[in-house]
Structure 1
Amino acid sequence: MRKTLGGWALAAVAGLGALATVAGTAHATPTEATSLYAPSSLVLSVADGDSAQATVTRAVTLTCRPTAGGDHPAPRAACAELQAARGTFAELTDLTTGSVCTREYAPVTVVAQGVWEGRNVSFSHTFANSCLQQSARGTLFHF
């Protein structure tokens, strides 16, 4: 009888130990590992007009964390530029030197809304025309 009770006790302890091991490793999921980074996910749009409420003609999504993605044509480059600019969107609307555009006034407004490194952002900038918008530094608003 002692051997039987000892066997059952040993089996119970081994079962509890295995259960604790499984429970201890059940928490290490890829979702939790990626949640250590503040999210960065944006909707970028271009509108014909001089305000953020103008009619949107193009829009893309850009996700930078946990990985670069979305339907932006160059997500890795756009994320790298935003990271280098420390999330300052205005730095990416500066015109490149040597850009040659007509002086026509047909305003185009770019808008970025969403989350950058865990904080809500809303940015808009109006260019005098689409040539100037395409002459802006970087690839963030080039889609």
Structure 2
Amino acid sequence: MRNTARWAATLGLTATAVCGPLTGSALAAPAAPASLYAPSALVLTQGHGESAAAVGPARAVTLSCAPRPSGTHPAPAQACAELRATDGDFEALTVTGDAWCTKQYDPVVVTVDGVWQGKRVSYERLFSNECVKNSARSTLFAF
């Protein structure tokens, strides 16, 4: 009788130890998100040539906007504010200003790859020269 009681106790404890965590996780509520902010992390590159694939980047910076602006971009807070103001529309940020630039054709290509507010983004823009790129009314590509 003592052996039967001992086996029953051992079997009961083993079943509880093995099956207990399985039933607990099935009944548990879904895990809360790690952050209240959607991820926003970008890699911006710049190179001389007609396409990013052909020339490769000459310079690259990182920009993270959530939960706070950071990265190797020279002005992350201002760049993030501009992106938020245009709801991530990179084309709106590349509108050139009234700078007097030469008509010399020395193409500069800029790219943006990463995640903006939880969505995958990929953007490429060709400027005719460095002066035209720098005349954009945004600090996003000023690096």
User: What does 1:95-114 align with in structure 2 at a 5 Å threshold?
Assistant: 95-96=96-97, 98-114=98-114
1:35-114 residue pairs with structure 2 within 5 A? 35-53=35-53, 54-96=55-97, 98-114=98-114
- Report deviation, 1:39: 0.5
Gaps of 5+ in 2: 1-31
SS in 1 for 2:72: coil
Once the two structures are TM-superposed, the CA of residue 66 in structure 1 deviates from its matched residue by: 1.1
Partner amino acid, structure 2, of 1:39: P
Secondary structure of the 1:80 match is: helix
Q: 2-side partners of 1:83 and 1:37: how far apart?
A: 13
Name whichever of 49-58 and 69-78 sits farther off: 49-58
Q: Structure 1: which 5+ runs fail to align? A: 1-31
Q: Output the amino acid matched with 2:104.
A: E
Change (3 A) 1:120 1:114: same
CA offsets, 1:76-131, max 9 Å, x none? 000000000110000111101x2110000010001000000000000010000011
Alpha-carbon RMSD across the aligned residues, in angstroms, is 1.3
SS of the residue corresponding to residue 82 of structure 1 reads: helix
For normalisation by structure 1, the TM-score amounts to 0.75
Percent identity between the two aligned chains:
50
Q: TM-score, normalised by structure 2?
A: 0.75
For 1:130 and 1:50, locate their aligned partners in 2 and report how far apart those are by CA, in whole Å.
13
